[in-house]
Chain A
Amino acid sequence: MTPRKRLVGLGAFALASSLVLTACGGGNSGDDATGDGASTGIVTISNGEPQNPLVGSMTNETEGGLVVQQLYSGLVYYDAEGVVHNEIAESIESDDNQTWTITIQDGWEWSDGTPVTAANFVDAWNWAGYGPNGAKGAGFFEPIEGFAEAQGVPEFDEEGNVSGMAEEPTAETLSGLEVVSDTEFTVKLTQPESDFPIRLGYSAYFPLPDAYYDDTAAFGEKPVTNGPYELESWEHDSEIKLVPNEAYDGPRKAQNGGLDFIVYTDENTSYADLQGGNLDILENVPTSAMSTFEEDLGDGAISEPSASFAAMTVPEWLPEFQGDAGHKRRQALSMAINREQITETIFAGTRIPATDFTSPVINGWTGEIPGNEVTTYNAEEAKKLWDEANEEDPLPDDYVLTIHTNTDSDHQAWVEAVCNGYINDLDIKCEMTGYPTFDEVLNERDKGPDGKVDGLFRAGWSADYPSLQNYLGPLYSKAALAGSNDGRYESDEFDAALKEAAAAPSLDEANVLYNKAQEILFKDLPGIPLWYYSTTAGHSENVDNVEFGWDSMPLLYEVTKTE
């Protein structure tokens, strides 16, 4: 049920890099060292019911995403550290970061016996990019030339909802995609994107076989795939069974006898099953077990930083946060949050105080961005700044600062803690404005100044691909005003900095430039960084080699289980 972004609001995430690796060294089933002696046990994993057909570009939620990742192989894949490796791709090259030439390896096959060709990629991307197909992952093809023509121009009603098309799409395919041969195609982007190869491991970019277009709905129930596993059965709301794909000869070869995804609606239940030995891998430790799970599970406990980041957005349309006084208030609000204390007492150490706008698991992350002193708790300085701002631009006597959030998850506790901090340190009134469900608060946020949001609002974000750009562009660029830039932050300087980073000749240079762009964010504070989420997960004694990737998803093909 949960769109990928939404999960950030709902619970803890999972990610581990090195912690669990040590577990296999001590185990007695170290038969995977040669990569040849794969185990035969069937690994059971807790999951939710996929909310979409099992097709990469249709899936935008973690439950389906985890299954789709096992079924399909894309151009590249990510290892546990988030480093990109070629899977089907032979090479992905560009001289200017704008026109990319992609060659694929020979010899890959679909489960119906047809070969994987360059056209399978181009057709799949064209299908997803064509508006009327309604692909949930369509947005990922926006950087490709011709996307706008294939989407058409929508019409909006007074509430900001799409009501129809002002202009129908003029093209059915993306003009930037071109098949050169069976093993080669080119992609032309509308502007340079230095991190384009990193993005290609995301499920929206997976290829689709020709069989897909015969009956797209039926295909999603019983897909023809090319990944390390094949779908054996999908019993809705109950269980998905995958078996290893014998023909698969890539870097993600299955080391176990198959995967059983068991659908749970209650995390406490899956936790009980893990303890009782009925379940091998638990993706999320329930809130109720947060303070005890490391003791309960021993070697099977996993706790590592994840790619999810939480902030409070300061809407640009609020007069009290504009100008010099507004700027001082933003700084004061950030400095008056005791992140250490809140993450320790409310989240039992499963969240990590944030020092930037991205996440420590992303390549290029640094905790040393000039200007990030505002994320250090400093009550005196905060009070001083707030008072200075009030001298320049006094607030009404009955001013109440509000923090808007959905309350269907564990947000109330930290919002109250932050508010109490403001009340004590800044001597102001502060209240939470709660919304019962996430889509309600989303609705109000989207309306901007016309909505009910008259204070700060909660924002959670996790990356789709391990790139710094994925945090900065979609949230704070002008291009994202129609998307997720809900605070309506506009800065020419920041946009220019992003553009420069996107054109950088190498990824390392790009990362340096992205971090430079973050300095501008720390200057303007369109949002107040709060904390990074952790992956908190677990596994039973029956399995070895359990590793969680940068995206909080287990690397299931590596897991070994002896029968």
Chain B
Amino acid sequence: MLWYIGRRLLQVIPVFLGATLLLYGLVFLRPGDPVAALGGERGLSPAAELAIREAYHLDQPFFMQYLYFLKGVFTFDMGVTFTGRPVVDVIAQAFPVTFQLALMAIVIETVFGIGFGLYAGIRKGKLFDSTVLLWSLLLISLPTFVIGFVMQAVVGVQLGWLPITAGRDPDFISLLMPAIVLATTSFAYILRLTRTSVVENITADFVRTARAKGLPRGKVMTRHVLRNSLIPVVTFIGIDLGNLMAGSIVTEGIFNINGVGGTLYQAIVRGENVTVVSLSTVLVVVYIFANLLVDVFYAVLDPRIRYA
């Protein structure tokens, strides 16, 4: 098992190099001139433009720029943004809050998704099951920003139950509404995945055997049905952690959370190569580790799975 994890960690290196090179190339190929945009309609004086180009190595060819970036990564000095802030600071500020938000969303969607899914699967075809299925379909088809704005207007502005925005000092309470919004779509998916798996497993041979040998119903459900039903769900959650961190742009915008999504979007618009690639690189690493965690978890859930 340790050997397996070590090998997987070694794979991070080529993935890291490939992903950063690809990302760097993509941002580089983005048409337009970020330095020109800094001047707006008035334009910068040529001397000022030159000073900025040199400061950000934008006068160098593509590959040299990429090498400067790599050097920065290994010395933890990735340079500064166009506003003069160290990129390391930007990362240190953006990730904790996004991570907290994503974690809260994961907990919400997992607890409610698996709970509702399990119950719906056991009561297949009953009123609860069909109601839940209908609602989850509705949640999947609603875009996040619709749910976000509606919740903000109703729960935040009109009822005043939860803070409208989380901008200044995001704590648990002010992140609760954004986390719920962020969790809705995945909640619906997890619910449906769990339900389908449970429905499948509940008629499996090993469940019938367990019942036949007189195990209490609760034990059968948790130890045998649920545990075996969780493999596809865990896969989904693993991928979702990455999605939630990178894909919360909309939610973060609505609730004014200065996390990864918003920062990344602004950096892309501005053409700040270094910021875009640095933030994405951290996301790539998060993805890799989330996937590794999922694979390790398979072995825990299903003893038949062994890694060597």
Indicate if A459 sits at the interface (CB-CB under 8 A): yes
Chain A CB within 10 Å, residue with most, of B48, B51, B82: B48
Size of chain B's interface in residues, with CB distance under 8 A? 57
The CA of A135 and the CA of B46, in the complex, are separated in Å by: 11
Nearest-neighbor residue (CB-CB) of B268 within chain A: A437
B residues 47-99 with Cβ under 8 Å of A? 47-53, 55, 59, 82-85, 89-90, 93-94
Q: How far is the CB of B141 from chain A (nearest CB, A)?
A: 22
Given A52-B83, A238-B168, A272-B157, does the pair A3, B48 have CB atoms closer than 8 Å?
no
Q: Is the CB of B33 within 8 A of A161?
A: yes
Q: Which residue of A lies closest to B41 (CB)?
A: A5
B156 part of interface (Cβ distance < 8 Å): yes
Stretch at the interface among B18-26, B119-127, B210-218, B256-264: B256-264
Q: A170 an interface residue at 8 Å Cβ cutoff?
A: no
Do residues B266 and A437 form an inter-chain contact, with CB atoms below 8 A?
A: no
Q: Nearest A residue to B48 by beta-carbon distance?
A: A134
Interface membership of B111, Cβ < 8 A: no
**CB <8 Å contact, B83 and A443:** no
Which residue of A is nearest B52, CB measured? A134
Q: B31's closest neighbor in chain A, by CB? A: A440
The reply to whether the CB of B291 lies closer than 8 angstroms to some CB of chain A is no
Q: In the complex, what residue of chain B is closest to A9 when comparing beta carbons?
A: B41
A262 close to B271 (CB less than 8 A):
no
A8 at the interface (CB under 8 A from B): yes
Contact A138 B48, beta carbon cutoff 8 Å: yes
B157, A6: Cβ atoms closer than 8 Å: no
Stretch from B9-17, B159-167, B179-187 contacting the other chain: B159-167
> Is A496 interfacial (CB 8 A cutoff)?
no
Question: Could you say which residues of chain A place their CB within 8 Å of the CB of B31?
Answer: 436-437, 440, 443
When the two chains form their complex, are residues A442 and B42 in contact, meaning their CB atoms are under 8 A apart? no
Which chain A residues border B255 with CB–CB below 8 Å?
269
CA distance A2 to B48 in the complex (A): 17
Given known contacts A238-B168, A239-B168, A443-B31, A269 and B47 CB-to-CB distance under 8 angstroms = no
Instruction: Tell me, in angstroms, the Cα distance from A412 to B274 when the chains sit together.
Output: 31
* CA gap between A131 and B47 in the complex, in Å: 5
Check A437–B50 contact: CB distance below 8 A: no
CA distance A154 to B45 in the complex (A): 10
Report the Cα distance A437→B266, complex, angstroms. Answer: 12
Of the residues B33, B44, B59, contact of A163 by C-beta under 8 Å: B59
| CA–CA, A268 and B250, complex, Å | 12
Given contacts A217-B84, A483-B42, A484-B41, contact A238 B258 (CB under 8 A): yes
Specify the chain A residue showing the minimal Cβ separation from B50.
A162
Complex CA–CA separation, A148 to B262 (angstroms) = 41
Task: Give the contacting residue for B266; candidates A1, A50, A53, A165; CB below 8 A.
Answer: A1
**Chain B residues, CB < 8 A from A132:** 47, 51
Is A22 positioned at the interface, with any CB of B under 8 Å from its CB? no
Among B33, B49, B51, point to the contact of A439 (Cβ < 8 A): B33
Task: Check B36 for interface membership: any CB of A closer than 8 A.
Answer: yes
Q: Which residue of A lies closest to B145 (CB)?
A: A268
Q: Which one, B36, B168, B270, contacts A442 given CB within 8 A? A: B36
Question: Which B residues are CB-close (under 8 A) to A483?
Answer: 42-43
Contact yes or no, A264 B167, CB < 8 A: yes
Alpha-carbon distance between A3 and B94 when the two chains are bound, in angstroms: 24
A100 CA to B263 CA, complexed, in Å: 46
B142 — which chain A residues lie within 8 A by C-beta? none
Q: How far is the CB of A37 from chain B (nearest CB, A)?
A: 29
Docked CA distance A438–B254 (Å): 24
B153 touches A272 (CB 8 A): yes
Q: Please state if A5 and B42 are interface contacts (CB–CB under 8 Å).
A: yes
Q: Is B253 an interface residue (CB 8 A)?
A: yes
Whether B160 and A276, one on each chain, are in contact in the complex, defined by CB atoms closer than 8 angstroms, is yes
Nearest CB in chain B: distance from A359 CB, A: 15
Contact of A6 among B40, B254, B263 (CB under 8 A): B40
Interface string of A147-184 (1 = CB under 8 A from B): 00001101010000111110001000000000000000
A217 to B156, CA, bound (A): 40
Contacts of B36 in A (CB 8 A): 439, 442-443, 446
Q: Could you list some 18 contacts between A and B, CB below 8 A?
A: A51-B38, A53-B84, A133-B48, A138-B44, A151-B47, A161-B53, A162-B46, A236-B85, A238-B168, A262-B168, A266-B256, A269-B253, A270-B256, A278-B165, A439-B36, A439-B37, A440-B31, A442-B41
Q: Which 4 A-B pairs have the closest CB atoms?
A: A131-B47, A3-B40, A134-B51, A5-B41
Interface residues of B (CB under 8 A from A): 31-53, 55, 59, 82-85, 89-90, 93-94, 149, 152-153, 156-157, 160, 163-165, 167-168, 252-256, 258, 262-263, 265-266, 269-271
Enumerate chain A interface residues (CB-CB to B < 8 A): 1-6, 8, 49-53, 60-61, 131-136, 138-139, 142, 151-152, 154, 156, 161-165, 169, 217, 220, 236-239, 262-266, 268-270, 272-273, 275-276, 278, 408, 435-440, 442-443, 446, 459-461, 464, 474, 483-484
Q: Could you list 6 further interchain pairs (A-B, Cβ under 8 angstroms) beyond the known A156-B46, A236-B85, A442-B37?
A: A1-B269, A131-B50, A134-B47, A276-B156, A435-B32, A442-B32
